[in-house]
């Protein structure tokens, strides 16, 4: 319903059948307690979402959890629930529910207005993002 914000679920669908056995694909709405519960006990968690950093639309970003943890807490909670991924990280740390390893793959979005599908550059980035997710798990020690 928020165009480019739908890239996470789109990538999840694209990669669903290409992951090793034992990997769960979960679509979440960004509410931190759900994120934290989903992470609990995982060896590796790959979060896929849309971001806005000023890069060209469709750019694929990759951060690992350690670098995200070093970021200062945001002064403007940006999600519709007043809490976001960084709060989920902090909450997960406080409640011992972080995965052993966390990777965030994010696709640069531009259009977050009402609409039921992402814009062109973001749609074009979905196959590469799905491949990147699959590669994270292919590289992971079994």
Partner 1 sequence: MTHRAGASRTLRVDALTRVEGEGAMYVEIVDGRVADVQLRIYEPPRFFEGFLRGRAHTEPPDITARICGICPVAYQMSACLAIEDACGVQVTGPLAELRRLIFCGEWIESHTLHLAFLHAPDFLGVASAVELAERDRPALERALRLKKAGNDLIELVGGRAIHPVNPKVGGFHRAPSREELLAFADRLRHARDDAVATAAWVAGFDFPDFEVDHELVALSQDDGRYPILGGRLVSDRGLDLAAADFEGAVAEEQVPHSTALHARLLERGNYLVGPLARYSLHHDRLSPLAREVAAAAGLGPVCRNPFRSIIVRAVEVVYACDEALALIDAYEEPDRPALDVPPRAGTGFGWTEAPRGMLWHRYDLDADGTIRHARIVPPTSQNQPTIEHDLFHLTEHHLADDDDTLRHLAEQAIRNYDPCISCATHFLDLQVVRRTSEPCGGS
Which residues are at the interface with partner 1 (CB under 8 A)? Answer: 1, 27-34, 36-37, 73, 75-77, 80-83, 87, 90-91, 94-95, 114
Q: Taking the complex as a whole, how short is the minimal distance between the CB of residue 19 and partner 1, in angstroms?
A: 19
Q: Taking the complex as a whole, how short is the minimal distance between the CB of residue 116 and partner 1, in angstroms?
A: 9
End-to-end CA distance of the chain: 37
CB neighbourhood size of 71 (10 A)? 11
Q: Taking the complex as a whole, how short is the minimal distance between the CB of residue 2 and partner 1, in angstroms?
A: 10
Nearest CB to partner 1, comparing residues 31 and 111: 31
Nearest CB to partner 1, comparing residues 37 and 111: 37
Nearest CB to partner 1, comparing residues 58 and 109: 109
Residue 37 near residue 102 (C-beta atoms within 8 A): no
Q: Taking the complex as a whole, how short is the minimal distance between the CB of residue 95 and partner 1, in angstroms?
A: 5
Instruction: Go through 82-121 and write b for each residue having 16 or more CB atoms within 10 A of its CB, e for each that does not.
Output: ebbbbbbbbbbeeeebbbebbbbbbbbbbbeeeeeebbeb
Q: d(Cα 114, Cα 133) in Å, to the nearest integer?
A: 27
Nearest CB to partner 1, comparing residues 58 and 118: 118
Q: Taking the complex as a whole, how short is the minimal distance between the CB of residue 97 and partner 1, in angstroms?
A: 8
Q: d(Cα 35, Cα 83) in Å, to the nearest integer?
A: 11
- Residue closest to 15 by CA, chosen among 130, 139, 135, 138: 130
Nearest CB to partner 1, comparing residues 36 and 133: 36
């Amino acid at each position: 319903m928020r165009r480019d914000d739908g890239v996470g679920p789109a990538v999840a669908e694209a990669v669903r059948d290409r992951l090793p056995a034992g990997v769960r694909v979960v679509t979440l709405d960004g509410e931190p307690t759900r994120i934290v519960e989903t992470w609990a006990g995982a060896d590796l968690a790959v979060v896929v979402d849309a971001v806005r950093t000023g890069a060209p639309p469709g750019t694929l970003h990759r951060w690992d959890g350690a670098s995200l943890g070093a970021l200062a807490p945001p002064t403007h909670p940006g999600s519709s629930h007043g809490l976001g991924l960084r709060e989920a990280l902090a909450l997960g740390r406080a409640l011992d529910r972080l995965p052993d390893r966390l990777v965030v793959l994010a696709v640069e979005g531009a259009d977050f207005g009402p609409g039921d599908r992402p814009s062109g550059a973001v749609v074009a980035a979905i196959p590469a993002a799905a491949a990147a997710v699959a590669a994270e798990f292919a590289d992971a020690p079994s």
